[in-house]
Every structure is written in structure tokens, then in C-alpha cells.
Amino acid sequence: MITLETIKKAQKTLENVTYKTPLTKAPILSQKYDCDIYLKKENLQLTGSFKLRGAFNKIANISEDKKALGVVAASAGNHAQGVAFSASHFGIDATIFMPEATPLTKVTGVKHYGANVVLKGANYDEAYKAAKEYALEHNKTFVHPFADDEVISGQGTIALEVLEEFKNIGQPDIFIVPIGGGGLISGIATALKELSPSTKIIGVVSSGANAMKESFKAKTPIDSISVKTIADGIAVRDITPKMLDLLLDLVDDIIEVNDTEIASAILFLLERHKLVVEGAGAVGIAAIMHDKIDIKNKTVVLPISGGNIDVTMLSLIIEKGLVKSNRKMNMKVILIDKPGSLMRFTEILNSCSANIVQIDYDRNSVKLEFGEANVTVALETKGKEHQELIRETLNANGYRLTEF
């Protein structure tokens, strides 16, 4: 059973192990949305995620005999690193099952702490099944990423740290928490219901992994057929009845955000708040930025749950974000394939003060007429008006462009 006392006990267990991560006001967001928004930066935690709290608390409470046999876990990445770190701390063996598509940065992070990694399955739930079978076969302790009282109690220590910092501020009005399996929000909500009962607790899921939201609304477990989201840390397909019961008892509402909204939040946090945040850690900000929650004149807390984002995904988000915000323009035009044509085209772009960052010249495509060439170009631009100037100038000079 998870109680305030088990969470306080976990806090003592975690002393001198985990970081007491910063809780800081987000001035840009607060001003923009006319409220007070505070970010609990678990992306700065050891292993880059809050998951260390629950994993360490669980392993610390395993008997010495069971520790000697080793532990097993299944994870999309952050829980895996938490278990690997904790196992290394206690000098025990750890085997981690991870989905085959897990970002390299998370796989590397797990191996860094000395754990054995097994890539298995298309998603967390398939990796979980394989891990459970392996643990049973080898008589090892399975460390569940969320449906475990000691794990949940460890995650709940975040709320204790937040409320300690709020002593001179008052109680938060709203706590917005990412939801995958439900362990983080269950631990936080358990502490808040005892110590700050007026605080509204809102969970956020990705629309590509929204089984918990659908189950919460229906008040019965409804598994997803599949999951697909850039928020891999909360990409849970199947609902654990125990976790749904906890959320129905503790949580006020669950909303969802899509991948485009999550990506915009990641880019915003990177650019404006200088924070590297993974998809799961950005869903609360995405909910705020896209008006999913009424927060005007409220005091709001969001745990930035993790920062272990794959650099390839981050690069893709940045590129798409630049196009969406009119700071980058990708186009294709057809030129006459003769000397001077490309120079004339680039001179026109230069006259518009458009900076060419990439250009490709193709005269061999079978879709072209003889004597034609495709030119694909990427431009740095200065906003919507600048892009409109470029379009008008090219059209006035006889060019017909296709944007993508």
C-alpha cells in the first residue's frame, strides 16, 4: 500500500543518492499564460530522469538473498537506467529488456552502468512479457517500472520536495504530470492528497498512447491495439488495473496531446528555457501551450520528467520546428539546364537576403523534360513576411516553386 509514510520512508532511503532537483519558476511561460508556472527539473536528475527514485527505493528494499540473485526490468529507457544505476550501487547483476526501437542514447546509458541489455519486442509491453518470463526462469527479482508500491513511493518523493520549497509560497493550485503506466502521478498524487488536498492533479498522455485516458474516462481498463509516439517514455499499450484504480481515486482529470504539440513544446523548452527535454517530459508544457488546461491566475507545477532524448529525434524536431516557425524554407524549382541558369536563380535569392544552407542540382530525373533541371534548396529566412517576399520575387521572375 502506498501512503504518505511509505513516501517519507523512501525519501530517507534516497538521501545522498538522488539529486534534490531544482524547482524554478518559468518566467516566459508564466508571463505568457498569466499565471505562475514552476518546473521541477527531473531531466537534471542522475540518469536524466525521475525513474531513478522508484528503482533505487525498490532495489534498496529487496532482501540480501534476493539481491544476490540479481534483478530484471523492462523499460523504454529511463527506468532501465534507474535500475542499472541502482544495481551498480549495490553491486548486483541487472538484466534489462528494452524495445528494439529504443533510442541509442538510452541503451548506451544502461550499458554505461554495467547492466546487460536485451533488445526485445516492438514496444514496452512485448519487452515486459519477455522480461517477466526471464525473471521467472532464472529466479530473479523483477523490478516493475510503475505497478509496484516501493517504486511508486519513490516517485512520490518529488511531491515532498516540491511542497518543501512551497512553504513560503503557499500550496500549488494545479500539478500537471505525464502518464505512461501511472507510477509517477500515483506517487505524487498520494502525497498531495495528504499534504495539499486542494491541489488539482491533472495527468497528460500522448494521443499515440492514450489507453490510460480512455480507461480513466470509461472507468474500466481499455488496452490500445498499438502505440506510436515520440514520447517513448510514456508509450505504454496495456493498462494495469491496479494503476487505473489508483488514478481513479487520486487524479482529477487526464488529457492528451499529439506528437506535433509535444514537438513544439520540446523546441520551446530548448530555445526559450535552455532545457533539453524528452517527449514524455514535455507533454505538460505541450498541454499548456495548446490551451488544454485552464491555468489563468493559478500556481502550476510540472515535473519535467526526463531529458534522455535521442539526438537524431531532437535534430528532426528542430528542423521541422524551424520550417513551422517560418525560419526555414524548403523549395524545389525547375530551371533550364544551361550555363548561368543556376547563378541567376541564386542571385535572385541573394537579392532577397535569403541564406542558402543546402542546394541540390538534378538533371537526370526521368520526370524531367530534356534540357530541364530540378533544383532543391533550403533557405534560412527571417519570418513569414520574408518568405512571402521570396515567393513574390521568384514568381515575378518566372519561377514556379513547390514548397515542402
Catalytic residues: 51, 305
106: phi then psi, degrees, rounded to nearest 5: -80, -40
Residue among 384, 383, 379 at smallest CA distance from 401 = 379
Residue 38, C-alpha cell as written in the block: 514552476
Report how far residue 376's alpha carbon sits from residue 364's, in angstroms, rounded to the nearest whole number: 14
Report how far residue 94's alpha carbon sits from residue 142's, in angstroms, rounded to the nearest whole number: 10
- SS3 for the chain is CCCHHHHHHHHHHHCCCCCCCCEEECHHHHHHCCCEEEEEEHHHCHHHECHHHHHHHHHHCCCHHHHHHCEEEECCCHHHHHHHHHHHHHCCCEEEEECCCCCHHHHHHHHHCCCEEEECCCCHHHHHHHHHHHHHHCCCEECCCCCCHHHHHHHHHHHHHHHHHHHHCCCCCEEEEECCCCHHHHHHHHHHHHHCCCCEEEEEEEHHHCHHHHHHHHCCCCCCCCCCCCCHHHCCCCCCHHHHHHHHHHCCEEEEECHHHHHHHHHHHHHHCCCCCCHHHHHHHHHHHCCCCCCCCCEEEEEECECCCCHHHHHHHHHHHHHHCCCEEEEEEEEECCCCHHHHHHHHHHHCCCEEEEEEEECCCCCCCCCEEEEEEEEECCCHHHHHHHHHHHHHCCCCCEEC
For residue 325, with 0-12 CB atoms within 10 Å meaning exposed, 13-18 middle and 19 or more buried, which class applies? middle
